[in-house]
Structure 1
C-alpha cells in the first residue's frame, strides 16, 4: 500500500469546520491540504449505510477526479438510547428547506431534534452518546486505507459554547464538564473522535 509523504492531499469535504480541524491535525507532517470545495470537485451521493462506506465513497471520488491522494472523513453522533441515531444521518437531521438558495443545514434544529426525542422517552432517560469518525484515504490507483476513531460522552441541554460546529454544543466528552464547543480547539483536538482516528492514521502512515 502507498504511504503518504510530504506533498499534496485532497481533503474531500466542503465543510469549512471539518477542513480546519483536519488541516490542524496534518500540519506537523508537511502535508499541503487542498479542499474538494476549493478544487470545485462535486460532492458524491453518500449512499452507504455505514461511516466506512460513506468515507470510502467520498475519498475514491475525490482521488479519481483530482488524480491526487485524497482523504475523506465520515463522522456522526450516535445516541445509545436512540438506537445509534442519528448516526450516518447526522448531517441529514440538520437539513432545512429555505425559499431561496436551496436547502441549508440548521444545526440548532438538529440538536433540537435529538433533545426532543430524548424528552419523549422521559426525564430519566440515559443520555450517553459518542461521536464516531472514519477516515478513508484513497489513491488514484484505487488502493485505500481506513482508520476508525471514537469519543464517548453525554448530551446536555441547552447548547453551550461557540467554538465548535455541528452537535459540539450539546456533547460533553467523558471526564469533562464542558462541551466540545466550550473547549479550546487545541484541547478538543487531543480528545476528539477525529483525533483518535488520526492517531491511528499517523501511526500507520508516518511512523516507521
Structure 2
C-alpha cells in the first residue's frame, strides 16, 4: 500500500462519523498487509481513534479547547447548552428538560455546607428519584469537564464532591457496591472544609 494512499486514507477518515471511524480502522488494518507498513499503520490507527475522540470533545458546546481533559473525565455527549451562565462563566448546561441551575449547589442556604446539600438533595435512601439522580449526574459530569477544560479551579473541588457523591448514588441504585464505595471515598477526599461535623461519616454510612 503506497504511503500517499495511506495519507489520503487518513485525511478521509477525519470526515467520518464516530461509528464509521471504528469500522474503517478495522478495514484499514486488513489493507496493511505489507510488513514494512504494518507498524506505521498500527500507530496511525491509534492516532486516528484518539483524534476522533478529541474532535468529538471539541464539538461539545460546553467545552473549551484551552486544557486537555484527564482520561477519566468523559463529557456526556447528549448534554447541551441552555441560556445563561453558572459558576462564573460556564454555560448553563441542559439535559432531559433540566438545567444545571436546577441542581446548583451554590443556591443552597448560606448556613449549609456543600456536603449537606449533597446529602439532603441527592441521597438515594432519602427520596432522590433514579431519574433525577441520572440527570443530575450528567449535568455535574458536564460542568466538571467544562471547568477542567478551562483550567478553572475555583469551584472544582466542590463540583467534584457533588459529582462523585451523585455517581455513588447512581451506583447504589444499580446495586454496584464497588462503584458506590469508590465514589463515596472520592467524594469524602474532595470534601475538606465543605464537610461540617459528621457529614463525612454520613456519606461513608451510605456504602453498601
The TM-score with structure 1 as length reference comes to: 0.27
- Give the strand-richer structure, 1 or 2: 1
The TM-score with structure 2 as length reference comes to: 0.27
